[in-house]
Amino acid sequence: MRNKLFFSVLSIAFLIALPNLAKASVTSFTKEHDGVLFTLDNGLLKVKVCTDNVVEVKYTELPVFMNKPSLVVTNEWKTIPTFTVAENDNEIIITTAKLHVIVSKKTNSVKYTDLNDKVILSEDDSQSKSMTSATIAGIDVYNCTSEFKSPLDESLYGLGCHPEDSLSINYKGRNQDMAIKYMTGAIPVLLSTKGYGLLWDNYSASDFYGAEDGNTKFKYVSESGNMVDYYFIYGPSFDNIIASYRNATGNAPMFPKWSFGLFQSQDRYKSQAEILSVKDKYRNNKIPVDCIVQDWFYWEPNVIGSHVMYPERYPDPKAMVDELHKSHIHGMISIWPVFSKGTIPYNQMSHSGGMTDILWDNAMTHMLDSYYDAHSAQARQLYWKQAYDSLVGRYDWDAWWVDQCEPDNGNNLDLRRQSHFAIGRGIDYMNTYSLMHSTGLYDNWRKDFPNKRAFFLIRQAFAGQQRNATTLWSSDISCTWKAYKAQIPQGINACTSGMPYWTSDIGGYHLNWLSPDWTTPTNRELFTRWFQFGAFSPIFRIHGKGERALFSDNWDVKTKAILLNYDNLRYRLMPYIYSLSWKITNEGYTIMRSLAFDFRNDPAIKSIPDEYMFGTAFLVSPVTERMYSLPNSKNIKKTRKVYLPKSTLWLDFWTGKKYEGGQTIDASAPIETLPLYIKAGSIVPMGPYLQYATEKPANPLELRIYPYANGSFTLYEDENNTYDYEKGVFATISFKWNDTKHELIIDKRQGSFPGMLNDRTFKIIIVNATKGTGVEMTKNPDKTVQYDGNEQVIQF
């Protein structure tokens, strides 16, 4: 971690401080159609009103605002909300329907209050925004800083995924490196329990400092920019903050339904025969799975970027993918943004001016392979065409694994800074390679696969990348309990940063770069616990070194049974999960939810790193400590502490037992049990047992109602893999539970789609300790209802 960003780089040649910001007073201001432009005695300030609850603040010490098209914010804000501007002796006050934005005449610091004048956020009066001259890697830059007051009772979340960071989930009181490189990411989005979010629209390497001035302030420092540029977003709910953020930066499109089933991956399958044998073993053993993944070096003995599946090992790749499809399994292939010199794709890209000078020391061959320029629209188009013609389109792969997209050149970040992209200097675009690379992939996928939804598994993500159909995975983590434990807060914070889809390698990727022995008790226990967590991650995916497929003989009979149970649970929850995925696209929702989404005003939740809500109903508390593979395991109590947030009742998913909120309990956690608690008032739809996600319609549909509070749920269904939902081709059914009346209202179905069930059966259970628990189907529902699409009111 750098103590000060501009002292972190050894190649600094000089450092010149510009005039102190406190002297940057307002000399005049002008109301414009979209906000207010302030002339300062040292630079300019622009407050742009984007919506009633979203404001952009730009500050520069240059005499003009330099042109900076945003790579992150895609909303053009064509409809400007009504706002007013008032002035007194000390301040200029901009008022929207939801906010006061107050600018100090003396210091140009900005304060945000609600309409009752309650302060939401304030910039620091003495050092609110600044630009400081520096030289980094021999490049003249301005360090750009924004600093804010932070009350002691505030908690802060987000900032992306940092896979090896095992610190608290709460960024209050700690710092974070915000430079994208191997094994650490950066999404410059921060959410506060005070009800606001911040998006910093800067693409250079940056740092977040969360404990300034006795933990009363935080600041964000970017090493290069021509202005301070950030967006303030008022919620106050986290859901509204994230929805507003996605409205600014692009909504997440729907994934195909199959992508919410199990991904089977390994480093690595080495032949067509091996891929098909994995398919057969899953299907013959009746183990649910939806995707098998071809990892890297399928090209060997050719080199990376050749876009060749070596024919001696893959004699007919198209037939291989067709065989997967016949078994209702999808295929994902790993294709990298790097090329070895001498390949046809490299020569085409190089001769057309599409290569960069950024090199990767290939971990397998130790050749220096080259990155293409993802910031060039022309290069992105050529890259797509090469991969589509040679691999993705030619063989009809269903998904794309986007590896190595930092770009990764080891620890020599100065060479990345010194590089030049089509858009500008490398130092100014250190963090946006994955954003622009995935932009090219998604835009072209939509053109060349118009009726097939995109799915990109990607190693890095930046702000706005959710619009490119990407799932962020947490990179090359180790097969250790420490790494597993760190995944939970990292997944939560990644999703709190606006990326709705996140996953980890279940079991970890490597153990000292080798395969662990999965037959040992320690590793079996580790994989079992990680698999349970994976079943309640947005994307459910096995990957890493060593065979760990669910049919593997590395697992004993008991382990296999536990793994299959959670695989079955994931598939039975498919109606619940797929409906939540629609909420992501339609409402800007978040599935893997920091407790602050739903319990922001409960102070006890603020620093819990290993609990989260999975959708509207499930409180998930993964077990991250060894209980069975220690020498004294017989004496270890098989429980874990679980805090049940206040203001609601909770029901144990496995037993139906009721608990009051606002207490910490010793939750039962034997090896077969992931502690799961359901919020009172939840309605959870559960479908039949499946071998793959689209095997059959969810009919009959089991509706589990968790009483003691009112609740609702909207079931969403469509064609599963087309973009016709964007044209309104889908159907929803809303369920409303009135706990006082003991009444369920099933609303009239809205919409339709080809293949929709017109008539269906709902089996309704009011959950208690005797029924509606665990994975198994409930044999004796409270009511069985035949539904024809019209409203029904059901009394219990």
Kindly list the catalytic residues.
Answer: 403, 406, 476
Chain-centroid distance, C-alpha 566 = 22
Nearest partner of 492 among 646, 645, 606, 641, judged by Cα: 606
Q: Which residue has the tokens 């609601």?
A: 648
CB atoms near residue 300 (< 10 Å) = 16
Q: Which of 684, 690, 750 lies closest to 717, judged by CA?
A: 750
Provide DSSP, 572-617: HTHHHHHHHHHHHHHH---SEE-HHHHHTT-GGGTT-SS-EEETTT
Q: Name the amino acid, one letter, at 702.
A: E
Q: Which helix (H) or strand (E) holds 156?
A: strand 156-158
And the tokens for 587? 């409402």
Dihedral (CA of 20, 21, 25, 27) sign: positive
Question: What CA–CA distance (Å, rounded) separates 502 from 439?
Answer: 18
Strand partners, 131: 144
Residue keyed to tokens 């990109």: 456
**Tokens representing residue 680 in the block:** 């009172």
Among candidate residues 514, 522, 454, 446, the one with its CA nearest the CA of residue 484: 522
User: Tokens 């498919």 appear where?
Assistant: 574
From 595, 594, 597, select the one nearest 237 (Cα to Cα). 597
Joined together, the tokens standing for residue 696 give 């059959």
CA dist., res. 142 & res. 145, Å (int): 10
3-state secondary structure 273-298: HHHHHHHHHHHHCCCCCCEEEECCCC
> If you write DSSP's letter for every residue of 648-691 in order, what string do you get?
SEEEETTT--EEESSEEEEEE--TT---EEEETT-EEEE----S
Nearest to 562 by CA among 598, 525, 587, 537: 525
344 conformational bin, left if phi > 0, alpha if psi -120 to 50, beta if neither: alpha
